[in-house]
Chain A
């Protein structure tokens, strides 16, 4: 009994400290002088896999208008990986990031964009361009997880994301639908384009840890030094696990 109480107390205390710690290390936005740039590309090590076609099994007249290929690993020309998220993990100060609105569209039973980056505290407008029943099922831990229906008559649904986290989004009505919402408390986050390239601008000079995350390839990190008004080039290769 006692040990259980103790562990509970310790857990509670740890939780409290963690909470305080995360608050204490919150990002501070302001003016950036002589900021540098980090740019580069994320590439796949090894042979790029072919994208499989997704079987549309439901609501074919709307979902099946276009052919869908799987998103789990999209490799462009020169083996550049699309939809990888590049971010600085230990940045404490830097440029301001206004809490703006972001939009996630469900169009042709696909989330557009596939990976959405939003500032912490942002409101996301989730659009239903398809005009059929979708539901937004988030798998989050820091933010409250929800599963809301978005029937035909509901064109826009809004959701708040207060805490930084990478959240999986699915639709239980259309099993193939998959999207990601990356909530970040600082603006130094980028999603790679179809060539696998990214740019982080106005980074205050200093040493940082840069993290690359991809939904199927996982995480990897690298140290990076940013010099005033210089472009730091980075080329990272991710391998299949």
Chain B
């Protein structure tokens, strides 16, 4: 500072020179400007590097392609073709310049002149006619004599009539000449087009190369208008600049490119339905759309609420618009997670959007005292997996005391059983019971140790395949039998991926294999009381109307035998002094408190808790929970992320328990894989909403299929029937493949196409035996009107029957046809009733060689399907006992015409059986 004051003292300010200061400052400005430009252009634009890199990659690709095209072009035959075309072109052009062309031009000119003359003349005549007509009108107006003017009109009209065809003929001649001229030009055009076809790819590629070279880096952005809405339900504009770096996202040829240039997987389907310009990127993937630096754009820095959804988590993004759909073919993990939630009943304790109307998953406990042994109940409450390793009931980690309290309350609050019609007396043969259980269909849902599959294949539908497994050596029957399982397994493992990518109708995801649909009965006698069991197997709905267990229409005798057999499985192990303990009022009171606290009523109906509220936190925004909202307790080993928190919460809820904070969530004993699947579903739970027009709603047909699948799962129709190519595992318990339940939806077999809707509806409501040779019975599920309608709609939709209408006989199609039908089916021809029943008329031989009652056809089958079936039964249901009669119908009926004969049989069948 001092030197400055000294300087000032020396000289007056006005006299001092500031040159140096000024120079230094200017230099500084120059440098700063330079730095600013450099910084702006180079260091703060990482995306530019990506674009340049992408241009390099694309340039390379295109050059390679160009080189390939060029070599193609340089092949001698192509060159020769080009040379020939060049010659042709020259010739054609020469022709255009030649005398022929000129001559044609002259002809045209001449004809045009002739035409012009004639048409002018015609115009004049028309004018004259107009004038004459005017004079007629005028005479009428003046009320003068019209005869004179009228006389003039007629000759002029005649003149015009004569003239018109002449003009037309001349016009045609002109057009002819024009066409002649055009032909010259067309020759040239055709040759040029051909040449273009050969050299075109090369020029197009060259043009592309030039374009790539000329590209300058630029920010690419999509402005998405209102997929998202704000708190006030106003649409928000969002900007996505992701394609600035992800340049190959929608471009063929980048399937193998390294990121960020790789093409979007499932591009055709996903971009086909979600155009980039309408949906952008972040509406599905999340992340920070406008950002242009990698970490910021992916939203993976700190404090950004919507980081990029990576891996399977991206499937969570679908829910926003597809909440209505249960199965998304391109989001299999999400769909499976959703299915798990539905099966496990998470919604019993947590509020979960979309599950408001789903029934509680556990059994009704209001009559439990009559059903189970108290000691069993105590052990079950304490450790459910100890009795049923595959049960869905979670472990609550209860102490002995707590378990007995809960058992005490449940038993004391239990209601008396409805009156039995004939009690279980015992004395029935357990051998017979075993036989019944093995045959009537119990094994479609339940497992019993000691009653194993006879064929080790879990599914054995015979699917016609162009299998290339050629056995060169003759195979014995046993060896073939042994081979079947492996083949069937392979078929089962084959994905539904072979179906078209527009896979909205794709087969539902297979349910988890390690879970049985219904309880394993291997130790049932240690659990239940014989009287209850007898009443239950006789008619489960009588005991509990909402149960999924169907009635197999067992007679009292059969039910007794089944009960006798089941009561041989396992023994009761009474716990000493438990009976006294659970009668103590303080135990019962403690049990009630515990049930209230742990929320048992979330899954079970329990007397006294009919109106209790859900005990656990609302999960409707769980996917968006911030870290500070998650309670990690003292679990320092868990990484502080949403993903890790959720993983451990599901895997072992107690991990977050501290001395002061209890964790009430029970342990479901999930595997890591299950946890990850559930986590994807949980990630999808958020309260972000989209505009209504972006919500994907289901068409009536899709809804019918979705609702139908839900019911098929609920009642485990798949346990016995092959539906949508899946299920039918019960087949493994029958060695004779003609004795298994019929497939309903498999290959070309569609139940909805086969049977009439009304019949199906009635059959679902009250099944009647159709196939007398089957031991396995179609049980009565006691479906509600809604459910039976839903299933009927489902099969109709799968069978592509848009109008499930009734078939009414309009009038006789001619007695001749009916007579022919009757004759064809008679003993002298097809002899249909050799195997088929006809009402009370049964065929000869044992029932296992019979076939369905043809008197039912009229009410049961769709006539169009009958015709299809008669044409080739093996095509619809490979392996069926029904042989094909066509081609090869008799020559002496209806002129041997196949179609007429089939029509005759169909018409006859639709009248068979009277009524």
Contact with B along A143-172 (1 / 0, CB 8 A): 001111101111001000001111010001
Majority-rule SS of B interface residues: loop
CA distance A137 to B843 in the complex (A): 20
Give bound CA distance, A89 to B474, whole Å: 9
Residue B883 interfacial (CB < 8 Å) = yes
Give B695 Cβ to nearest chain A Cβ, in Å: 28
Asked whether, in the complex, the Cβ of A148 is within 8 Å of the Cβ of B884, the reply is yes
With an 8 A cutoff between CB atoms, is A78 at the interface?
Answer: no
* Contact indicator per residue, chain A 1-32, by CB within 8 Å of chain B (1) or not (0): 10011011001000110110010010000000
**Are B475 and A166 in touch, CB under 8 angstroms?**
yes
User: Contacts A137-B881, A153-B890 known; A25 to B473 CB distance under 8 Å?
Assistant: no
Chain A residues with CB below 8 A from B835, complex form: 172-173
Are A173 and B849 in contact (CB-based, < 8 A)? yes
Q: How long is the Cα–Cα vector from A133 to B827 in the complex, in angstroms? A: 8
Within A208-223, which residues are at the interface with B (CB < 8 Å)?
211, 213-215, 218-219
When the two chains form their complex, are residues A22 and B470 in contact, meaning their CB atoms are under 8 A apart?
yes
Q: Please report whether the interface of chain A is mostly helix, strand, loop or mixed according to DSSP.
A: mixed
**Could you tell me if A132 and B849 are in contact, using CB atoms closer than 8 angstroms?**
no
Given A4-B497, A141-B480, A172-B835, also A213-B890 (CB < 8 A): no
Whether the Cβ atoms of A165 and B471 lie closer than 8 Å is: yes
Check if B884 sits within 8 Å of A16, measured CB to CB.
no
- Does A135 lie at the interface of the complex (its beta carbon under 8 Å from any beta carbon of B)? yes
Q: In the assembly, what is the distance between CA of A1 and CA of B333, in Å?
A: 12
Listed residue (B468, B472, B835, B874) with the most chain A CB atoms within 10 angstroms of its CB: B472
Smallest CB–CB gap between A191 and chain B, Å?
12
* CA–CA, A158 and B469, complex, Å: 25
Cβ contact within 8 Å between B477 and A168:
yes
- Report A178 CB to chain B, min CB distance, Å: 10
Residue of B827, B845, B883 touching A58 (CB-CB under 8 A) = B845
Q: CB of B130 within 8 A of chain A?
A: no
- Find out whether the CB atom of A147 lies under 8 angstroms from the CB atom of B476: no
Structural contact, B470 and A154, CB atoms closer than 8 A: no
- Write the B146-166 contact mask toward A (1 if CB under 8 angstroms, else 0): 000000000000000000000
Give the size category of A's interface with B.
35 or more
Complex contact A59–B476 (CB within 8 A): no
List of A residues within 8 angstroms of B693 by Cβ: none
Binary CB contact string for chain B from 449 to 475 against chain A (1 if under 8 A, 0 otherwise)? 000000000000000000111111111
Q: Which residues in window 698-716 of B have CB below 8 A to A?
A: none
Interface members, chain B 37-60 (any A CB < 8 Å): none
Give chain A nearest CB distance to B86 CB in angstroms.
45
* A154 partner residues in chain B, CB cutoff 8 A: 888
Residue of B nearest to A5 (CB): B497
Distance, CA A232 to CA B785, complexed state (A)? 77
Does A182 have its Cβ within 8 Å of any Cβ on chain B?
A: yes
Q: Are A89 and B473 touching (Cβ within 8 A)?
A: yes
Chain A residue nearest in CB terms to B737: A139
Q: How far is the CB of B437 from chain A (nearest CB, A)?
A: 26
Q: How far is the CA of A57 from the CA of B829 in the complex (A)?
A: 21
Residues of chain A within 8 A of B880, CB atoms compared: 147
In the complex with contacts A172-B849, A175-B849, A149-B883 CB distance below 8 A: yes
CB proximity of B852 to chain A, nearest CB, Å: 13
Q: Is the CB of A87 within 8 A of B849?
A: no
The answer to whether the Cβ of B873 comes within 8 Å of any Cβ in the partner chain is yes
Interface positions, chain B 532-563, Cβ under 8 Å from A, are none
Determine which of B468, B473, B845 lies in contact with A211 in the assembled complex, contact meaning CB atoms within 8 Å.
Answer: B473
With an 8 A cutoff between CB atoms, is B71 at the interface? Answer: no
- Neighbouring B residues of A152 by C-beta, 8 Å: 827-829, 831
CB distance from B282 to the nearest CB of A (A): 25
Shortest A241–chain B CB gap in Å is 8
Whether B474 contacts A166 by the Cβ 8 Å rule is yes
Given contacts A141-B469, A184-B474, A219-B479, whether A153 and B828 have CB atoms under 8 Å apart is yes
A136 contacts partner chain B, Cβ-Cβ < 8 Å:
yes
- Is A142 close to B, CB under 8 A? yes
Chain A contacts with B in 48-86, Cβ cutoff 8 A: 57-60, 85
Beta-carbon contact of A19 and B470 below 8 Å: yes
**A1 CA to B879 CA, complexed, in Å:** 31
How far does the Cβ of A57 sit from chain B's closest Cβ, in whole Å? 4
Docked complex Cα distance between A182 and B467 (Å)? 20
What separation, in Å, do the CA atoms of A147 and B468 have in the docked complex? 21
Task: Give B471-505 as 1s and 0s: 1 = Cβ < 8 Å from A's Cβ atoms.
Answer: 11111111110000000001001110100000000
Query: Residues of B contacting A219 with CB < 8 Å?
Result: 476, 479
The answer to whether A8 and B830 have CB atoms under 8 Å apart is no
Contact B883 A172 (CB under 8 A): yes
Interface contacts beyond A18-B470, A147-B884, A215-B476: sample of 14 additional A-B pairs, CB < 8 Å, sorted by A = A19-B468, A58-B834, A59-B834, A87-B474, A141-B467, A147-B880, A147-B883, A148-B888, A149-B888, A151-B829, A151-B885, A151-B890, A165-B475, A218-B479
